[in-house]
Chains A and B, each alone.
Chain A
Amino acid sequence: MEKTKLFLDGFAKGFGTIGKTVAEIINFVLLCIIYFVGIGLAYLFTKISGTTLIYLDKKNTKSYYKTQKIGKENIEEYYKQY
């Protein structure tokens, strides 16, 4: 009885590890597809349209500040995650 229990526990543990590894491989493959198709296409689009998403270069300007007015908004705006 004890041996059977030990065997079943070990089996379940091993199976769980295999399951986790398989899930990680699938995740990896899916994320690679998303990256090269989704992000890759977006990259091409920005290149073609000349869009800059992040300003990496120093600008020739008097100030690097971006003037904004971030403050109180209507309460509905705070329900949004964006």
Chain B
Amino acid sequence: MHILGISCFYHDSSAALLQDGKIIAAAEEERFTRKKHDTRFPINAIKWCLEDAGITIEEIDYIGFYEKPLLKFERLMAQHVQMFPRSISMFLHSMPSWINEKLRVQSIIKKKLKYKGDILFVKHHLAHAASSYLASEFKEAAILTVDGVGEWETTTLGSAKDKEITLLKTIDFPHSLGLLYSTATAHLGFSVNNSEYKVMGLAPYGKPVYYDKFKKIIDVKEDGSYALDMSYFVYHYKMIMPSQKYLEELGPTRTADEQVTEHHKNLAASLQKITEDVLFKMLKHLHKITKSKNLCMAGGVALNSVANGKILKNTPFKNIYIQPAAGDGGTSIGVALYIYNTILGNERNYVLRDAYLGPRFESEEIQKFLDENKIKYEKFSNDAELVEKTAKLIYENNVIGWFQGRMEWGPRALGSRSILSNACNPKMQDVLNLKVKHREKFRPFAPVVCVEDADKYFECDKPIPLPTDFMLMVYPIKKEKRKLIPAVTHVDGSGRLQTIRKEQNHLYWGVIKEFGKFSGVPILINTSFNIRGEPIVCTPFDAYKCMMGTGIDYLIIDTFLVKRADNLSDVWDSEKYAKD
């Protein structure tokens, strides 16, 4: 049986293909179109999924869509009616896409895919819940989903047993923890639905001096339920988010090119603190009503790795699972699993243990690309040589583009499309920023460590939860180890680590271990392989283009080594075209 899950027309379009209960292919549309957070119908991702599985659209038994469009439309209409006539600009802005796309989902799917079969629509937060629980190893669990907004719901608390999921309590629009975080992101001069993680990275630099002001904005009950004071917001009827009152209370909106000051850092710290407080209270209540020791989380807020890393210490839950694409992009696997397991009642036979669900390229294909484009390269004779040479190059402070196997599912680079460098070099952050990333100075780089070495360097939960493999948990770095890995130690002594297991990606694991032999510290910097403002690379062409447009020194692509200095005729300056 084949089920195709689709998520699109809001942000992060994606497609996922399920075969007999197992997700065999999944990818976000942005990787193919090279447009970050692409919202369009994921035709390229779908075509690739079908091609990868070697099937045609006629062999798809069901297509699942990640929300109920008419319920969402009902909520939108309610907003316009309630806020009449102040909602006119929002109405004029949003209606064309509703008329052209969102209300015609069924016909668009049938027409674009020439599909004649059944299409099922699953509620947005159920798709989120399923994307986590049905991909986890738990046989029963409590579920928390928190995002901006689905149809009406912005937060749901639920429970699951075997194949069944039930959402028990909800908080509805406009009261939304996700939208509060997005409002603060916009207020701090960063892009909404894109740069929330920057606010999270900024928070440790500040003190939560505005915590009490945020407590006026969000009223939190003992059970974690909350309501926003909507006089601080205008997102329910305008295309902007904070109201005049919000600005009067917390200062003017920072412009994108304005310097980040203490005030901005303190705002970020206060927001992060209130977010964690609400989450922990909700989770304690969730535990009280479900009595489960297992927790599954999904929704954009579940990408807040700083909060995630504190959950097991601050709540009664003992185990946690979050899948790599916890945001809206991840709902395509959720809807596919929900149809197979819950609606059709098939037994669960799948656990998402690694994120390698995307396109892969065979050696012959890569060599053909290199030869056809007259790119100079060397070929490794075996894995041991590849691992040793890569580790040595990293130890010598080179910046490495690492392109191996299947592309990652979700927003993080996890060792298939990564940039790797030396975490022990105190100057590496500056080198990476100068050569490749051009990031804001306050943003930390992430460490990757083999799972068996993690607790030597990090104060992680034990046993190390699977979401740590997806870079979804921030943990403190042990005090005595911080000076050993200065390039990945954040200002508060924490690190957003990725743990890697040999069975997930043996080459990546091998390079880290080998680097440990050279340096004495088996930890690397792992950052996403992309040009600033672009999605992570997908194809060999994207990878080569990225290397030649930035200052990456070497590209290790499959069994080939490409040196930038050997191909200087292809150099270009990506920063001239970079957009954030």
Contact = CB atoms under 8 A, between A and B. Distances in A.
Interface of A: 27-28, 31-32, 34-36, 39-40, 42-43, 46, 52-59, 62-72, 75, 78-82
A68 B91 contact: no
Interface in B435-483: none
B137 to A, nearest CB: 21
A32 B96 CA distance: 12
Contacts, number: 128
24 contacts: A31-B91, A31-B96, A34-B95, A54-B173, A54-B236, A55-B172, A59-B227, A64-B175, A64-B227, A65-B157, A65-B169, A66-B172, A67-B169, A68-B167, A69-B168, A70-B126, A70-B170, A72-B343, A78-B120, A79-B120, A81-B69, A81-B70, A81-B106, A82-B68
Contacts of B80: 35, 39
B367 interface: no
A63 B288 CA distance: 15
A75 B343 contact: yes
B223 A79 contact: no
A78 B343 contact: yes
B78 interface: yes
A40 B167 contact: no
Interface in B155-192: 156-158, 164-175
A48 B123 CA distance: 32
Cβ-closest 7 pairs across A and B:
A64-B225, A53-B78, A71-B166, A82-B70, A43-B84, A70-B167, A78-B120
**Residue of A31, A32, A59, A78 with most chain B CB atoms under a 10 A cut-off:** A78
Nearest to B92: A31
B230 interface: yes
Given A31-B91, A82-B70, A63 B223 contact: yes
Contacts of B87: 39
Contact of B119 (A42, A65, A71, A79): A79
A39 B81 contact: yes
Contacts of B84: 39-40, 42-43
B68 A64 contact: no
Interface string B491-511: 000000000000000000000
Interface of B is mostly: mixed
Contacts of A34: 95
B168 A64 contact: no
Contacts of B173: 54
A62 B82 contact: no
A69 to B, nearest CB: 6
In this complex, the interface size class of chain B, counting residues with CB under 8 Å from chain A, is 35 or more
Interface of B: 68-71, 74, 77-82, 84-85, 87-88, 91-92, 95-96, 105-106, 118-123, 125-126, 156-158, 164-175, 219, 221, 223, 225-227, 229-230, 236, 339, 342-344
B482 to A, nearest CB: 41
A69 B125 CA distance: 13
A82 B164 CA distance: 21
Contacts of A75: 120, 343-344
Contacts of A63: 221, 223, 225
A56 B169 contact: no
A68 B168 contact: yes
Given A43-B85, A65-B157, A65-B225, 13 more contacts: A35-B92, A39-B77, A39-B80, A39-B81, A39-B84, A39-B87, A42-B81, A53-B79, A58-B227, A66-B172, A70-B166, A70-B170, A75-B343
A34 B171 CA distance: 31
Nearest to B233: A56
Given A70-B170, A81-B69, A53 B82 contact: yes
Contacts of A54: 78-79, 82, 173-174, 236
B169 A68 contact: yes
Given A63-B223, A64-B171, A64-B175, A35 B123 contact: no
B169 A66 contact: yes
Contact of A72 (B79, B158, B164): B164
A79 B121 contact: yes
Contacts of B172: 55, 66
A9 B577 CA distance: 29
B82 to A, nearest CB: 5
A54 B85 CA distance: 15
Contact of A53 (B81, B96, B105, B165): B81
